[in-house]
Structure 1
Amino acid sequence: MDTCDLFSSCRKGDVGRVRYLLEQRDVEVNVRDKWDSTPLYYACLCGHEELVLYLLANGARCEANTFDGERCLYGAQSDAIRRALREYKQVTSCRRRDHYYSFLLRLLEQGIHSDVVFVVHGRSFRAHRCILGARSAYFANMLDTKWKGKSVVVLRHPLINPVAFGALLQYLYTGRLDVSVEHVSDCERLAKQCQLWDLLGDLEAKLASKPGTCVKVLTIEPPQADSRLREDLAVLADCALPTELRSDLWELPFPCDGFNGCPDVCFRVEGYSFLCHKAFFCGRSDYFRALLDDHFQESEQLEAPGSLPAITLHGISPAVFTHVLYYVYSDRTELPPEVAYDVLSMADMYLLPGLKQLCGRSLAQLLDEDSVVGVWRVAKLFRLARLEDQCTEYMAKVIEKLVEQEDFVEAVREEAAAVAARQETDSIPLVDDIRFHVGSTVQTCSAMEQAQQRLRVLEDLLVSIGLEC
């Protein structure tokens, strides 16, 4: 529903609504509709220059010589928009709003905690065995046989192109591939060799789908709903789980016992050992980077093959850490509302804002007349703007009943008291948000009458507690 609203708002040029959808509702800025069109394309086509500039500043992609870039330029309604598209250089192929994608791309480009180097005709590529093995059965087999124990792998075959190999690594790490058209055949050859049939199919389909368009750079990008990358990397979380905790797992793609995930750190939680990877925990959390890289806590030695450094985590249960584990590796976790509060407090402590947002989405399922005020307080405490907005939107729908509840009245008083040096006519944030939502969906006369009734109820409450505003 939010996605349809985004496309509609872009066609209308409603910058305020688009800002709300992207910043409060977390809608992906580069989402595509069934015609393979993006929000930026519609903003360009309909001539909304202000909206085009906003979308570009918030991660909308429009690289030169790509299908999206050429299409936006061709469809732009004005020269001013065409200039903006050509001149805007700040946003690159990295999806600015997708922190998971940015993290994986950073792992590849910076080689953080890499444990293998590939040398292809003099060019070096630092990589992580765990990612390559989880994403490709071919790499998993080679790293456990021919390349086992090697920190440097030299690839000398004349048909292996360094540019194509770099593009292949980009695909394995991020699910995305950017390559000049002249190197596509080299990428197809490598995809076939590495048994990456999905990539091979995507390359062939992409080449056949854009006739008549002058494209110099070919981009392969999975649809927003495509979960292959996250599912592949979730296997690393499966394998990190202690054997005793795997009993309730779904059937794994392959047995963990037969897959060498190459862990390099052990986290001990209430006696259970989770065999993990520093690259993921340090790359996703400043807390764990300080813990592991900055030596804020001395590590012990795990009495197991490989003698992994082990760190004991206190104040967290194995069940809650399992949710942290799956989020760190796959950016997702199945989070029932009943455990969301516990996970939220640990996500806040471990500096994992994305996990906090997942907790917020789970807590949103609890909203009813009795719980909405409590959930709203949690949202404010943990700075969950989207959940806070959902709470006030729900409050607006049931305001006639809320005004009779003491916890809501107390929340209004606290909000008023929190406004520094508040004068009698100053607004109260909670009240302002409810007023906004009461009036935001009014489209008919009957809806207007209902909205006016809700506003009167709210005003009566403010008068009764001496907070006219």
Structure 2
Amino acid sequence: QVSVRSPRIDSDSFRALLQYLYTGRVEIRLDRLDSLLRLADKTELEELRARLLQRQSGLDGLRAAKPGMRVTTIVLDPDMDQVKRDLAFLANQATPPHLLPEAESDRISCYPDLCLEAESSSEDSVDSPDVASRQFLCHRAFVCGRSDYFRAAVDSELSDADWLADGIRHLRLRCLSFGELASVVAYVYSDQLVISRDDDLDDSSSFAAILALMSAADLLLLPGLKRLCAGRLETRLDCDNVADVLRLSRLMRLPRLEDRCAEYCARHLSEVLPRSDFRLLIMEDAASVRDRQEADTIDIIDQVRSHLPRGARSAQLNQDIDQCLEELGLEA
């Protein structure tokens, strides 16, 4: 607890300072500006003080140019690049040092109040031989604020979280691997998709890691992370995986990814149509229509047709689709 007893610093200025620390934004009445400047000086927030003085100087020039103009409030918009850097720094502080580049592994106290621990596995044990190196020291305000799953797991009456000796809430996540939890923590703080050791993975392993993380995001009620994973998958579609990804996009209610899969199939129709996995998808869609008649549409066929190019080539591609359906004993 910090007490500010100086009569020259009022509550409005302190509130504005907290607003700046958390959001990078400042809104302060002009008659409280001197108080906020003193507070910024006392707390050694040189950047805030410099920006306030610059804005004050600009207002003085504006008043001189437009006599009679009345200004009551000063607003500083956040420097979003700096906010992102600050949040990424917090994410690094929450991450076990052995996962970070050496230049980013310095530790300072960020007063964590929540410890997330990944379930150990044979894969994780190579990089995280002890319990402490599998623990992420986070802040409940961030983690629980981003996910109803974490809020219930940590704060509800049915929570199975326990307490560490120093009063930090401790939650063991048996549903996540170590790498998946690292990606979740990075997203919670920075709103970015970070796949642990992505540069060291081959294409198939990286693809599998994204799929696993997307499933974890769905479980943890992190729709933003799920969409980021879907966006990464869009760039890694090929004829071998597009049918499986399309099924998954439907299961996880990701219409954009589903549409991208259909578009990919349309662009690579000659390669996709003969494949057994794509034909199985057609059969599944046809079977999903209750009491289907011969003339009833098939979802995947409709989606692919909508992305076919116009003109003579479209006619040929539609004929190829019709031939495929005929071979399957279907019509759409």
TM-score range normalised by the length of the shorter chain: 0.7 to 0.9
Identity %: 33
The answer to whether structure 1 residue 333 and structure 2 residue 193 are counterparts is yes
Q: 1:310 aligns with which of 170, 177, 191?
A: 170
When structure 1 is superposed on structure 2, of 412-421 and 317-326 the one drifting more is 412-421
* 1:351 alignment partner AA: L
Aligned to 1:461: 324
The answer to whether structure 1 residue 428 and structure 2 residue 298 are counterparts is yes
* 1:438 alignment partner AA: L
Asked whether the 8 Å contact 1:191–1:197 carries over to 2, the reply is: no
Aligned to 2:81: 227
Q: Classify the secondary structure of the residue corresponding to 1:366.
A: coil
Q: 1:250 to 1:414 in 2, by over 3 A?
A: farther
Q: CA offsets per residue over residues 58-117 of structure 1, 9 Å max, x none?
A: xxxxxxxxxxxxxxxxxxxxxxxxxxxxxxxxxxxxxxxxxxxxxxxxxxxxxxxxxxxx
Larger Rg over CA atoms: 2
Q: Classify the secondary structure of the residue corresponding to 1:262.
A: coil
Question: What are the ranges of 5 or more consecutive residues in structure 2 without an aligned counterpart?
Answer: 121-130, 199-205
Q: 1:273 aligns with which of 135, 141, 151?
A: 135
Q: 1:189 aligns with which of 37, 47, 51?
A: 37
RMSD of aligned Cα (Å): 3.5
The answer to whether structure 1 residue 293 and structure 2 residue 155 are counterparts is yes
Q: 1:231 to 1:421 in 2, by over 3 A?
A: farther
Asked whether the 8 Å contact 2:8–2:35 carries over to 1, the reply is: no
Cα shift at 1:231: 2.3
Aligned to 1:437: 307
Aligned to 2:101: 249
Report the TM-score when normalising by structure 2: 0.76
The answer to whether structure 1 residue 320 and structure 2 residue 180 are counterparts is yes
Give the total of aligned pairs. 301
Q: 2:23 aligns with which of 166, 171, 174?
A: 174
- Where in structure 2 are the equivalents of 1:61-210 lying within 5 Å? 150=1, 152-154=2-4, 156-158=6-8, 160=10, 162=12, 165-177=14-26, 182=30, 185=33, 189=37, 193=41, 194-195=44-45, 197=47, 200-201=50-51, 204=54
Q: 1:294 to 1:404 in 2, by over 3 A?
A: same
Report the TM-score when normalising by structure 1: 0.56
Cα shift at 1:407: 0.8
Q: 1:275 to 1:435 in 2, by over 3 A?
A: same
Partners of 2:32 and 2:318 lie apart in 1 by: 61
Partners of 1:410 and 1:202 lie apart in 2 by: 64
Partners of 2:248 and 2:210 lie apart in 1 by: 11
Cα shift at 1:341: 1.7
Q: Classify the secondary structure of the residue corresponding to 1:462.
A: helix
Partners of 1:430 and 1:217 lie apart in 2 by: 57
Partners of 1:462 and 1:217 lie apart in 2 by: 68
Cα shift at 1:242: 3.0
- Does 1 or 2 have the higher relative contact order (CA < 8 Å, sep 6+)? 2
